[in-house]
Structure 1
Amino acid sequence: MRYTFKPDDCMVISIPLGSIRNMREGQLMPEKFTCVFKDSYKVFLRGRPKELGAAQLSIGAFVICIGSLVAFEDHPSHLIYTLPCALFIASGILTFAAGRSPIMPVVKLSFIFNIISLFWSIAAIALCLLVDIGPKQYGDDISKLHSMFVGLRVVICVLCGFELILALILIYWESKAICRPHFNTLPLITIKQDV
């Protein structure tokens, strides 16, 4: 017959029993014993989600500000890859909230938003490199403005690259909290007897 429940190392309970020879009435079980619970949410907190969430929020705000500046000065086509970076702000807020309170639906929502942010940061880098810069309404300073817009786009690409790295790190730590076997498990109970 197969066991439907098997013990894992999520909860380890150690109960030291007294010696049977020296036992008096009612003294076999101790008053205190140790219980070690390996919480997967505490493992997630080792990844510093509050700090990384604040960094995500800052990156999203910077990308939107710089992209709006480039779009208003050069061409509105730059808003294609900058305005959806509000997703970075949303995932930063959710990651910060997930690090602040141990509510698992918030951690799961943050996990989903970080996966989407990972793919959007890759797409934003590709779109940033593909959208053409063409200063059309300027006079003599075309080369200066062109080099300024190229520099601002490089800054946007670097910030999206940082967001890619942050999303990868957060996906790793959040997967440790979410993707775990928690069904059909029992605590491991160890009974130690003094001889």
Structure 2
Amino acid sequence: MRYTFKPDDCMVISIPLGSIRNVREGQLMPEKFTCVFKDAYKVFLRGRPKELGAAQLSIGAFVVCIGSLIAVEYDLNHLVYALPCALFIASGILTFAAGKSPFMPVVKLSFIFNIISLFWSITALVLCSLMGRQNDISNNISKEHMFVGLRVVVGVLCGFELILALVLIYWESKAICRTHFNTLPMITIKQDI
């Protein structure tokens, strides 16, 4: 026979029973017992979403600023990977808001934005490494070093965003992707001897 309901340890109820030998009339069941409920949102808060959201916001602002500087100074084609990094700013704001209040639609929206941020950070890393300079700046060696250095900084920041998005996707999936149906609380009855 297959069980249709299974305990999933989301709610653990422990009921200490009195000793059967020493029991008086109506004294077997206690008046108080403990119930531990593992809230999925509290599990999400262990991932420190406010701090990670602030880091995402900062990374997004830095990438947009540095990418705009590269575009203005060297070539406007570099805005292709710099301006869409404003998605990191929106993702950081949503992640911070999800960590601030237990409103599940905000957590779900943050989860979606973090998935998109993950894919965009991979795309931005590839575009940043493939796009070269269009203008002839080889005559000024310091300008050439500055261009390479700024692109390396943008690449490192996009790498950090990739890591942050992966971590946040993991913790947000703990809050969002959970079973709702066919689960019962785990009830433990302990008897004093």
- TM-score when normalising by structure 1: 0.91
Cα offset for 1:120? 0.3
The more displaced of 173-182 and 7-16 is 173-182
Q: Is the 8 A contact 1:134 1:146 kept in 2?
A: no
Q: Contact (CA 8 Å) 1:135, 1:145: kept in 2 or not?
A: no
Identity between Structure 1 and Structure 2 (%) = 80
Partner of residue 173, structure 2: 175
Query: Structure 2: how far apart are the matches of 1:73 and 1:3?
Result: 67
Deviates more, 1:172-181 or 1:19-28: 19-28
- The one-character-per-residue Cα deviations of 1:86-142 (angstroms, maximum 9, x if unpaired) are 110111111111111222222121111111111100100111122221335x7x963
**1:26 equivalent in structure 2:** 26
Separation (CA, whole Å) in 1 of partners of 2:18 and 2:169:
47
Matches within 5 A, 1:1-195: 1-136=1-136, 142-195=140-193
**Given residue 84 of structure 2, which amino acid in structure 1 is its aligned partner?**
P
Once the two structures are TM-superposed, the CA of residue 7 in structure 1 deviates from its matched residue by 1.7
Q: How many residues align?
A: 193
| Cα root mean square deviation, aligned | 1.8
Structure 1 unmatched ranges of 5 or more? none
Over 6 Å off, 4+ runs = none
1:5 Cα deviation after fit = 1.8
Aligned-partner Cα distance in 2 for 1:18–1:66: 69
Three-state SS of the structure 1 residue aligned to 2:16 is strand
Instruction: Quote the Cα distance in structure 2 between the aligned partners of 1:168 and 1:69.
Output: 28
- For the residue of structure 2 that corresponds to 1:79, the secondary structure is helix
Note if contact 1:118-1:164 (Cα within 8 Å) is conserved in structure 2. yes
CA contact (8 A) 1:94 1:110 kept: yes
Instruction: Tell me the CA shift for residue 37 of structure 1.
Output: 1.3
**Structure 2: how far apart are the matches of 1:147 and 1:7?**
61
Question: What is the one-letter code of the residue matched to 1:142?
Answer: N
1:10 deviates by 0.9
Name stretches of at least 5 consecutive residues in structure 2 with no aligned partner: none
Q: Which amino acid aligns with 2:14?
A: S
- How many angstroms does 1:72 deviate by? 1.3
Counterpart residue identity of residue 93, structure 2 = I
Once the two structures are superposed, what CA deviation does each residue of 1:129-173 show, in whole Å capped at 9, x if it has no partner? 22221335x7x9632222211211111111001101111111111
C-alpha separation in 1, matches of 2:47 and 2:21: 50
Q: Distance in 2 between matches of 1:191 and 1:168?
A: 41
Relative to the length of structure 2, the TM-score reads: 0.92
The alpha-carbon deviation at position 193 of structure 1 amounts to 2.5
Question: SS state of the match for residue 32, structure 2?
Answer: coil
Contact 1:135 1:146 in 2 (8 A): no
CA distance in 1, matches of 2:122, 2:7: 42
